[in-house]
Amino acid sequence: MKTINITKVLIFMSAMTLYQTGCTQKADHKMEYNKLTSFEEYVILNKGTERPYSGEFVNHKADGTYTCKRCDAPLYKSNDKFDSNCGWPSFDDEIDGAVKRVPDADGRRTEIVCANCGGHLGHVFEGEGFTPKSTRHCVNSVSLNFVPQDKTAKTETAKAIFAGGCFWGVEYFMEKQPGVKSVVSGYTGGKTKDPTYEEVCSGTSGHIEAVEIEYDPAKTTYEELAKLFFEIHDPTQVNRQGPDIGEQYRSEVFYLNEEQKAIAEKLIAQLESKGYKIATKVTEATTFYPAENYHQDYYERKGSLPYCHGYTKRF
């Protein structure tokens, strides 16, 4: 009898391993970015370099924000720009979390890329003493766009809250959507104030795992985000998402206004007309509580892909 039980356990563990591997392989969906010219692709995608003093932003002095040419993510503020006489735009600081540093292929320098889309920006150098921060982001003009101060001041953002299983996977895909400014993993839907992860997992708090998205309505819409939500998780599963089982993993849209509610219900009706048996609930939003720091940007920090979320086109 013991031999039979052990065999069943081994079979179950093998099946779960294959399931998770399959989920990981589905996570290669690529989001759409701005169309680039051949020279922009040479620099941004193939890590090329423009000629010194040839870029439009070398001697640029206006107030505003420099953004990524490929995905429009804000990268640098104009008050961090300085004249280094190197032939390329120079900045001694970046917008927090906007730029990622990686070892250059030459084994000596440090490359800088857009943290949102991975587009090549240039290189960063330290210890040169040009400014008190002693840091120089040497950036290709062709990797940048510029938004003047008067326009950035008028920029308004909107929010959306979705729950589709483990918040790590939903956060991973939502962060890659153009127009999304930030995604926070957290808890909502329950009655416990400031719940902990352990309380949510216990099922006593009433909360579920969700993400709060801040986005630019000029660059994406609530409907586009909602469609993506229904395509990066399985909205037909009840109180689970893949191997993650429990009420805290249920599928739910938390609307912030009547327009969001109408859009969510419209999309659910479209999916049901295609034969999907949708389990997603549509609920008025209540207080959203950010999760512990170790849950934020989980897959980005871990350097891996979601194991129970993947992209499936449904619209």
pLDDT tens column, 267-276: 999 999 999 9
Residue 298: which domain range?
156-302
Tokens 């729950």 belong to residue: 163
Tell whether 191 and 112 lie within a shared domain: no
Asked if residue 229 belongs to a domain, the reply is yes
Asked if residue 17 belongs to a domain, the reply is no
- The CATH number linked to 251 is 3.30.1060.10
Residue 138 designated active-site: yes
Asked if residue 23 belongs to a domain, the reply is no
Task: Please provide the size of the chain in residues.
Answer: 315
Residue of 114, 166, 201, 308 marked catalytic: 166
pLDDT in tens, 180-224: 999 999 999 999 999 999 999 998 899 999 999 999 998 899 999
Ranges of H-type helices in 37-166: 38-44, 149-152
Tell whether 141 and 274 lie within a shared domain: no
Q: Structural domain tally of the chain?
A: 2
pLDDT at 151: 58
Q: Check the CA dihedral 111-174-26-20 and report its sign.
A: positive
Asked if residue 237 belongs to a domain, the reply is yes
pLDDT in tens, 76-109: 999 999 999 999 999 999 999 899 999 999 999 9
Distance CA 234, CA 273 (A): 16
pLDDT at 299: 87
| CA contacts within 13 A on the Cβ side of 113 | 17
pTM for the full predicted model: 0.54
pLDDT in tens, 2-52: 344 444 434 344 444 433 433 333 333 456 799 999 999 999 999 999 999
SS3 state of residue 79: helix
Residues 134, 145: contact at Cβ < 8 Å?
no
Cα-based torsion angle of the residue sequence 142, 144, 145, 148 in order, rounded to the nearest 10 degrees: -130
pLDDT at 306: 87
Asked if residue 190 belongs to a domain, the reply is yes
Distance CA 8, CA 4 (A): 6
307 band by pLDDT with thresholds 50, 70 and 90: confident
The closest of 258, 230, 245 to 315, measured between CA atoms, is: 230
**Which of 98, 130, 151 is the C-terminal boundary of a domain?**
151
Q: What is the per-residue DSSP string for 211-236?
A: EEEEE-TTT--HHHHHHHHHHSS-TT
Residues 213, 164: contact at Cβ < 8 Å?
no
Distance CA 104, CA 39 (A): 21
Tell whether 114 and 60 lie within a shared domain: yes
Tell whether 241 and 134 lie within a shared domain: no
pLDDT higher than threshold 90 for residue 260 = yes
Residue 23 designated active-site: no
Tell whether 189 and 273 lie within a shared domain: yes
Mean pLDDT of the chain: 88
Residues 212, 186: contact at Cβ < 8 Å?
yes
Residue of 71, 114, 138, 308 marked catalytic: 138
